[in-house]
Amino acid sequence: MGIHKTQSTDAAMAAILKELQERSARFSAAKSGDSEEKADYDCPTCKDQLGYLEDRDGYEVWVRCKCVEWRRIRKLMNSSDITAEFEKLQFKSFIKEGKPDVIADAYECAVDYYKDFENIRGGRKNSMALLGQPGSGKTHLLTAVANKLIKSNNVPVQYFPYVEGFNDLKDDFDKLEEKLKRMKEVDVLFIDDLFKPVHTNTKEGRMKKPRATEWQVEQTYSVINYRYLNHKPVLISSELDIEELVDIDEALGTRIYEMCSDYIVIIKGDRMLLNHRLAGLRNG
């Protein structure tokens, strides 16, 4: 009985090895100078087979190709809804020089949050918010955090631009529950420009009115409350400060504050100094 088992195992291993050898031979048959065939593969090393046979001390060993790592990262990036342009936003490209101290504070807060993430991700205060002045780099810094979490920590992130995101939800109502479920359950949710206000000039001065319909507040609360109860991190940028968020909905605003209280910066001051997009106008 034991002999039969050994023979069966040997036969199975031989069959597997033969299949791998044949596969490797087929891969090797492709001419390296044939650019047209090369173009058919994302990875010319393994010909998109995720691995290849390699001779090691007389034994043929199936080696996992390095492309597996970048394929995994690409899959996470694609599912995140972070655009190719936003994927370029990194900590090293953020401009702090010549800016007020609060901009450096925001940068340090983002870096500290990323460094602390693995230790805090399951706790109550596991989230981050950058609030206040538009054009001050809030989206850049939080996107840099998201990119690092995806590429270095293998953490799935969902990017949700508030205005465009809710327009899409209304236009695709049949998939509302599916999309909200994704926002609730993904490892990290990044809400960009939460309740982005409309600015108008009045006799009393420049006023801002948050985009916060009853339906939008209800859906946002359902997402934030689920994540609050299940200790799931959120990244939030908004032109509104905490008091203004609380004014929109107290239960929602206080949950956001509690989750982000260890990693929050409110950016206020001279917009000509704080707004990166006005730098050219100021220098001119």
From first CA to last CA, the distance across the chain in angstroms is: 89
Of 65, 89, 115, which closes a domain?
A: 65
* Same domain (yes/no): 230, 165: yes
* Same domain (yes/no): 31, 91: no
Which pLDDT does position 189 carry in this prediction? 97
β-pairing verdict for 188-192 and 157-161 = parallel
* Same domain (yes/no): 57, 101: no
Per the structure, how many domains does the chain have?
A: 2
* Same domain (yes/no): 147, 266: yes
Is pTM beyond 0.85? Reply is no
CATH of the domain at 273: 3.40.50.300
* Same domain (yes/no): 76, 15: no
Of 23, 38, 65, which closes a domain?
A: 65
Measured CA to CA, the distance from residue 233 to residue 214 in angstroms comes to: 24
**131 lies in which domain range?**
70-283
Which pLDDT does position 44 carry in this prediction? 76
The one-letter amino acid code at 124 reads R
For residues 44-82, b (16+ Cβ closer than 10 Å) or e, as one string?
A: eebbebebbbeeeeeeeeeeebebeeeeeeeebbeebbb
* Same domain (yes/no): 43, 123: no
Residues of the chain with pLDDT under 70: 1-39, 52, 67-74, 76-80, 205, 277-284
For residue range 45-71, list pLDDT tens digits in order: 777 777 767 777 777 787 777 766 666
* Same domain (yes/no): 217, 81: yes
Which pLDDT does position 65 carry in this prediction? 74
* Same domain (yes/no): 114, 184: yes
For residue range 151-182, list pLDDT tens digits in order: 989 999 999 999 999 888 877 777 888 889 99
* Same domain (yes/no): 124, 241: yes
β-pairing verdict for 197-202 and 59-64 = unpaired
* Same domain (yes/no): 213, 164: yes
Which pLDDT does position 212 carry in this prediction? 93
* Same domain (yes/no): 136, 26: no
Which pLDDT does position 42 carry in this prediction? 72
Of 65, 81, 104, which closes a domain?
A: 65
* Same domain (yes/no): 222, 181: yes
